[in-house]
Amino acid sequence: MYAFVLATGVMGVQAQSLPGDYVVEGRDFDGKAYTGKLRITAAGPVFRLAYTEDRTLRGMGIQRGNQLFTAWGPNSKCTVSALEIKADGNLEGPWGDLERSALGSESLSKQAGAPGQVDGTYTSRGRTPDGESYDGVTTIEARGQVFKVNFKDNDGNQPGVAIRQGQSLAVAYGGSRCGVSVYTINADGTLAGPYADPRDNRLGTETIRRR
């Protein structure tokens, strides 16, 4: 399983410098090493990417500070949320999908769960990239090294997988084929961090370097 990265710009790395070709070096959930190629292109406030090895996967991502939050998969149904864990236990941040070059936003208010932990039940309110408002209920449950997430509204359930890094939570929705990554952009321009797949409870790791 492979992950990819893209961004809107960070300290020490200008957004306009990110488009280009990269080499991906990683280790999967079993610790097996792999390599691949990544192409990043700009698309409005986000970046698109294509990862190729023995197949091609698509991704998009959101930058907050020096972190990149990404979703990736074989189709356009994946979405990514870049959530900040607030002092009161609530979550908020932007989100986007692979089909649009615009961002939505969401606030999750914690209703049940242990203080200081991400696990719990939240009421969710937000706006889509098209500006439409919505609300629902989000549940987050720790499973091994990752979190299993489910958003429910009148249209049904939307399952997801998440990674916590410090006071940030990266979530990918879209079902069993949509993974999530959260990366730190280093001063030398490399990007490194963990990724998760909804079909496993472990984390893989990747480092991306420009070719």
pLDDT tens, per residue, the chain with 211 residues: 444 434 333 334 444 477 788 899 999 999 999 999 988 887 877 878 788 876 778 888 888 888 889 998 876 678 999 999 999 999 999 998 888 889 999 999 999 999 889 999 999 999 999 999 999 999 999 999 999 999 999 889 999 999 999 999 999 998 888 999 998 888 888 889 999 999 999 999 999 998 8
Is residue 17 classed as helix, strand or coil in its secondary structure?
helix
Cβ proximity of 186 and 13 under 8 Å: no
The residues, ordered by sequence, that sit 6+ positions from 175 with a Cβ below 8 Å of its Cβ are 77, 159, 198
Q: Which of these, 170, 158, 194, lies nearest to 93 by C-alpha position?
A: 170
Which value, to the nearest 10 degrees, does the dihedral of the CA atoms of residues 189, 194, 198, 199 take? 120
pLDDT recorded at residue 89: 94
Cβ proximity of 90 and 109 under 8 Å: yes
DSSP characters over 46-94 = EEEEEEESSSEEEEEEEEETTEEEEEEESSS--EEEEEEE-TTS-EEEE
Amino acid at 112: A
Residue with the two structure tokens 């969401």 = 106
Q: How many CB atoms lie within 10 A of CB 171?
A: 29
Cβ proximity of 173 and 149 under 8 Å: yes
Amino acid at 158: Q
pLDDT recorded at residue 57: 83
